[in-house]
Structure 1
Amino acid sequence: MSTPAADAQALPKPRLSHLLDVTAALAAHAETHDRTAELPVDGLAVVHEAGLLTLTVGTGYGGPGGTLADTVRTLTALGQGDPSVALISAMTLFAHAAQARTHGWPAELYAEVLAESAQRPTLINALRVEPDLGTPARGGLPATTARRTAQGWELTGHKIFSTGAAGLRWMQVWARTDEDPVRTGAFLVRTDTPGIEIERTWDHLGLRASRSDDVTFDRVPVAAGAVLGLGGQGGAFSPFAGGGEVVGRGDLRAWNALGIAAIYLGVAYAARDWLAGYLQERVPTNLGRPLASLPRFQSEVGAIQASLVSAGTLLTATAESEDPTHANLAKTVVTNAAIDAVQRAVALIGNAGLTRRNPLERHLRDVLCGRIHTPQDDVVLGAAGRDLLEGTAR
């Protein structure tokens, strides 16, 4: 059951009309965040103050009820400014979107989340990946275990690639119970609970400021009802909770696929814009005019633009339909178009594209991370091929 709308009246109002300003504010510090690999606290504050971190809080909770299309538009803008900020923000946006549709959080806990969100960035993420299991999207049970206690549960385990770990307020920790038969679910843990340790392990090629570090849980207490999707073994993968929820017109997994794609499309937009400026400003002495005036450069930039316009159109249309049927395919197509665009930009200008004083090499490192996110290309394309060959594709 949703909380009274009045509980969230103080949430900052989303200013979607100011997305260009937010992009510029994030871009101003993205290089520093990349070099220091520190959590981008200032960038997250910008997103919060623009009302974007709570964009997807449901109207039943007094929030704006941002749609999937709104979220894709927002994450594209954030990704264009600083994709590390965008990825951390995306996890919180997905959690609020899931709550608006499933009402899985206990009312009193979610009311607490909203009260804090009105005052400061309040970050949520689902922690699922483990050292031995890898990505749960490919099957298997977590080693992280929830043991029954008189007060509820006691959580012990180890999660890796926990985006924004040091800045999170709430973790949705995928774990198995010690029961027979085993059940799995996402246990809701506030990060000031005793027994949680964050180990700074993230040292990555791209999205360096996303601080996707390791988190260990040593007999962490969890209230009896603070569990999402507690059910039978495994279940369909969901980045939002413990199982595979299907709500209304769309599977919530479409939010993950399209939201992630939006971030990397934003990175490609940033690379394209920098490339255009560089070509307009670069005047070799032997040429006496900007590189932008040469047909070869015009043609290649045109090809990049054609690819990105097509990818953006596909992403927007899929998000607006809220039909999950083609969401995974759209993620694959859009992400690969973004990667190809940045690689072509680097190839076009040579050494300048890989020089650290220019942002293009950072955009290249960041955009390559798009291939890593679930759902990965081999899974998506394999499923699409099987559906078509078996006559079940739509």
Structure 2
Amino acid sequence: MAVVAAAGVRVAAIAADRLAATFAATAARHDREASFPHEHVAAARADGWPALAVPGSLGGAGASLHDVCLLQERLGRGDASSALGLGMHHMAIGSPGPAHTGWPAPVYEALCARVVAEGALLNTLASEPEQGSPARGGIPATTAVHRDGGWVLEGRKTWSTWLPVLTHAVVTARVDRPDAGPAVAGFVVDLSLRGVGRDPTFDALGLRATASGALLLDGVRVGEDALLHLREPAEQDPRGPAVPAWFQLTSAAAYTGCAHAAR
């Protein structure tokens, strides 16, 4: 088993410093060229970083939010863009916790198995051109229609960090109900499915190597088991407060590492 999944956080810190050095060797070039650091992803996978926040009972390292943030800070010293890409994945995998809050157990367990075995990479994609940040409470423009024993997804998700290498995404969508108004749903989507597209356009002044382009969903058909939750727009996300906590703190840790490196 790779270093991170097999060892405790102390050993992982040593691995983080080594990975940060790998990041740093090409970080400036990738940011300057707005190119994607595939070698950073390969190095992270080789040491088992995708499994860092997978619960120990499911074969991962079982790192807590606190421990993930300590390691994110070290990675951010090498390259904030790559640290952020890993952080988005850790947020999506780590925030459900051992109780898989907001996820059906079989779906979460199957995805974690792929993370451990294959280095699968996940991000939560909710932002849209029309809606902006979902934190403002808007209803997604992306739609989900129940059809033939599954769901058909149509839409566009922006700020899709690490888009070139994502294998899965949690996406939000609007479900129109003739008699009750729209509901908001969350789906886990395998990005190898037909109809999934990736628009790499990301014209930014910094963090260009995050490759935060747009995920395109053009009639993507998913099964019934892809539905994670269905809620009223005014209701809280059933995944709970852990999701924003993981997002804000892992991102802040990466930025802190970047600031340390700039001193």
Normalization by structure 1: what TM-score?
A: 0.61
Give the structure with the larger strand fraction: 2
**CA positional deviation for 1:85:** 0.8
Q: What residue number does 1:33 align with?
A: 30
Give yes or no for the alignment of 1:245 onto 2:236: no
- Check conservation: 1:45, 1:121, Cα contact below 8 A: no
Distance between the aligned counterparts of 1:9 and 1:30, measured in 2?
24
Q: What residue number does 1:208 align with?
A: 208
Distance between the aligned counterparts of 2:205 and 2:106, measured in 1?
40
Structure 1 207/184 Cα, relative in aligned 2: closer, same or farther at 3 Å? same
Q: What residue number does 2:63 align with?
A: 66
- Picking from 67, 75, 80, the partner of 2:77 is 80
- Check conservation: 1:198, 1:213, Cα contact below 8 A: yes
Q: What residue number does 1:178 align with?
A: 176
- Check conservation: 1:45, 1:120, Cα contact below 8 A: no
SS in 1 for 2:97: helix
SS in 2 for 1:255: helix
Aligned alpha-carbon RMSD (Å): 2.3
AA matched with 1:232: E
Distance between the aligned counterparts of 1:10 and 1:79, measured in 2?
19
Give yes or no for the alignment of 1:13 onto 2:32: no
Q: What residue number does 1:197 align with?
A: 197
**CA positional deviation for 1:74:** 1.2
Distance between the aligned counterparts of 2:249 and 2:119, measured in 1?
23
Give yes or no for the alignment of 1:90 onto 2:90: no
Relative contact order (C-alpha < 8 Å, sep 6+): which is higher? Answer: 2
SS in 2 for 1:194: coil
Q: What residue number does 1:164 align with?
A: 162
AA matched with 2:218: D
Q: What residue number does 1:258 align with?
A: 249
SS in 2 for 1:100: coil
Q: What are the ranges of 5 or more consecutive residues in structure 1 without an aligned counterpart? A: 1-7, 237-242, 273-394
- Check conservation: 2:195, 2:217, Cα contact below 8 A: yes
- Check conservation: 1:52, 1:74, Cα contact below 8 A: no
- Check conservation: 1:148, 1:178, Cα contact below 8 A: no
- Check conservation: 2:50, 2:119, Cα contact below 8 A: yes
Distance between the aligned counterparts of 1:183 and 1:39, measured in 2?
36
Number of equivalences? 256
Higher mean displacement: 140-149 or 97-106: 97-106
Q: What residue number does 2:21 align with?
A: 24
**CA positional deviation for 1:11:** 8.2
**CA positional deviation for 1:266:** 0.5
% same residue: 35
Q: Deviations over 1:125-151 (max 9, x none)?
A: 111111111111112101101001122
Distance between the aligned counterparts of 1:135 and 1:52, measured in 2?
28
Q: What residue number does 1:133 align with?
A: 131
Give the structure with the larger helix fraction: 1
Q: What residue number does 2:259 align with?
A: 268
Higher mean displacement: 36-45 or 163-172: 36-45
SS in 2 for 1:53: helix
Higher mean displacement: 38-47 or 102-111: 102-111
- Check conservation: 2:3, 2:48, Cα contact below 8 A: no
SS in 1 for 2:51: coil
SS in 1 for 2:50: coil
Distance between the aligned counterparts of 1:133 and 1:210, measured in 2?
21
Q: Deviations over 1:68-87 (max 9, x none)?
A: 11110111111111111111
Distance between the aligned counterparts of 1:200 and 1:21, measured in 2?
29
